[in-house]
Structure 1
Amino acid sequence: MTQANTVTVHILDKEYCIACPTDERANLESAARYLDGKMREVRSSGKVIGGDRVAVMAALNITHDLLHKQQRLDQEATSTRETVRDLLDRVDHALAADHQDGPGS
């Protein structure tokens, strides 16, 4: 079983100690850097004041991006399924035609 270790991350000039499995450390650090960057973008826009509000706006921006990407992936998956169905239909038709023409024809 993976043992949790404490990882220290810095987000918007604050330090957070977080329990994290060793094999997830790199992902946690990457997520913290990403969040820090997004929060700094929000803060530097000058439109949002206060750490809590900056965090909420950054979370909303990240969630919006995530949902948009998920929607795009869902659309691509649907398109891929339709393409595969079309190809399978074409193969079925080709095999049926070949079977009708068969070796005895």
Structure 2
Amino acid sequence: MTQSNTVTVHILDKEYCIACPPGEHSNLESAARYLDDKMREIRSSGKVIGADRIAVMAALNIAHDLLHKEHNLNRQSTSTREHVRDLLERVDQALANDDNDDDQAR
């Protein structure tokens, strides 16, 4: 890749040049800031020592958050589908009742 397709980010006081598709620079920078914040949070707790261990803990925390949000989103999606299905059944029933009323009026 050419130099214009790389982004320099700083994570836990280290600089990384990362290849990045055009138009994704902002997203990559945001992701790097998020990771840096998580790693600093873990380092400041004093419970984890060493950049490698901090990185693994940050990755595990981020993966856990992602999976938890994905699970909640799937649950909400299922609930929404069931609600829409219920509403459609009610509309179908109302239309069927309306058709029956029209037939009886004739």
For the aligned pair, the TM-score class normalised by the smaller chain equals: over 0.9
Give the Cα separation in 1 of the matches to 2:65 and 2:21. 27
Q: Could you say which residue in structure 2 is the equivalent of 1:90?
A: 90
Q: In percent, how many aligned pairs have the same letter?
A: 74
1:22 is displaced (CA, Å) by 2.3
Please, which moves more after superposition, 3-12 or 94-103?
3-12
Q: Could you say which residue in structure 1 is the equivalent of 2:63?
A: 63
1:36 is displaced (CA, Å) by 0.2
1:104 is displaced (CA, Å) by 5.4
Q: Deviations over 1:18-39 (max 9, x none)?
A: 1112200000000000000000
1:83 is displaced (CA, Å) by 0.4
The alignment of Structure 1 onto Structure 2 pairs a total of residues equal to: 103
Q: Could you say which residue in structure 1 is the equivalent of 2:5?
A: 5
Q: Could you say which residue in structure 1 is the equivalent of 2:35?
A: 35
Where has structure 1 moved over 4 Å in runs of 4 or more? none
> For residue 38 of structure 1, what is the amino acid of its counterpart?
K
1:45 aligns with 2:56: no
Q: Could you say which residue in structure 2 is the equivalent of 1:99?
A: 99
1:22 aligns with 2:18: no
> For residue 84 of structure 1, what is the amino acid of its counterpart?
V
Give the Cα separation in 1 of the matches to 2:22 and 2:100. 61
> For residue 21 of structure 1, what is the amino acid of its counterpart?
P
> For residue 5 of structure 1, what is the amino acid of its counterpart?
N
User: SS in structure 2 opposite 1:23?
Assistant: coil
Higher helix share: 2
> For residue 100 of structure 2, what is the amino acid of its counterpart?
Q
Gaps of 5+ in 2: none
